[in-house]
A and B are shown apart, each in its own frame.
Chain A
């Protein structure tokens, strides 16, 4: 196999938090030992509930925040470049190859900049094109995301949520990156607009040969757009497989519960299918787990699940699960 576009090894991010007066600070274990590879031209979907660490992981990949430990490589011009070892200037130069689209199209665009200057800013920063060429590039980008070039002189508030997300996508594509991180790109949008943006992302990927790291909490959306899907719980990947395999044969009890909880817009199906209702809420990410972090809510957990360490292991080709009961059954 050729070198993957992105490789992440053992990423850990702990945020220190005060535990109270006169007590040593504790750590929120937002990301707790995550590894994956992302082949060029593919889409890896990261799903999980709020607080599972998926957005932190995205920011670590782009080095918008520094990992506590772990390493990552991005393939640039065919050679892997270690992102976690780059000095600030080298990192700045590498950033053009990896861009991000944020969740909230209202907060992620500067209200005092015109659309033209928002989309043209990355090219201006990298100083590659003169003013006229930059203008032409901006027009081309706006057309690519389905907006009219004459909109370049308008301001973000003149656009709807879906249109703003198109502007955010155009900005991310300005420097022709190879990796685009999409952090919940459709969850702030109305249902009738979500499908427009998903369709646009798929077209752009095919046309420009992009690679996506797609983060979302909506399982149906992630399955729709991803080649491979990783499910996260409390800072760890608990299951990973191709989208078809994962949804046809979810093995981790958490994945199964998550899938059964995702509502299907069809009363005939929704009212007859079996639902797994989990007890309680996820435990605090400040907690340290000896064993499986899901054990406290798991419908099939045994006492040993809370004490024995658990690792992500392959139970079938291309299908990894972090559950001692499931991997025990497979062997």
Chain B
């Protein structure tokens, strides 16, 4: 039993992957809670696909460099976020189809660019690999988490008010767009930082799923944030063990574990769950 649970973490790469995922677990889920509240879950899809062409271009230009790929992903993610924001405003109510169009193209473009290069495993880039977390990318993930948490705390109040009642903030000169952009930048940072361990397609899973699940476990906003972080930590540990023992890529293993926790909350959690509904 001890071997099963703790043995894998005796290995250096497993410890690095765990530390990286824990960093993302602290930074990502609070962003996810806000994404859920702002009804922007689709936006997280757009961003996860949107960073891919940037990563791929960084790789095509500079090879397997964490910095080139990270900065490329960041630039692409921010561009896509701005483009999506523009399309949302310009199309008045038809944004879901526009956003789907954006991310389908971004994914195809990213895969096309990557397949031109040699020496990079598309599976690892999309779905993550515990072996991918070297010391440099671990530091990158830790740095991002260190920046994102206090930054989110700084914009928390206007962001929450704007999510609940955008007219109120706008009428009081609260510059809602500014907070929204700052928030999107933090989400992009988190998605990009997660790509080494979890893959671009799965990093958003660790941001969103614990946040979606937290709605079933806590009623207050602060409670939901705490629960989301706790569930993400749990999913990271359990997912990495699953990945190690069953030889599944780390990203899907962690996301599946988080998904299991969500299903559990949906079934028996104290809020908005099947069980809570039966008791009514």
Q: Do A and B bind each other?
A: no
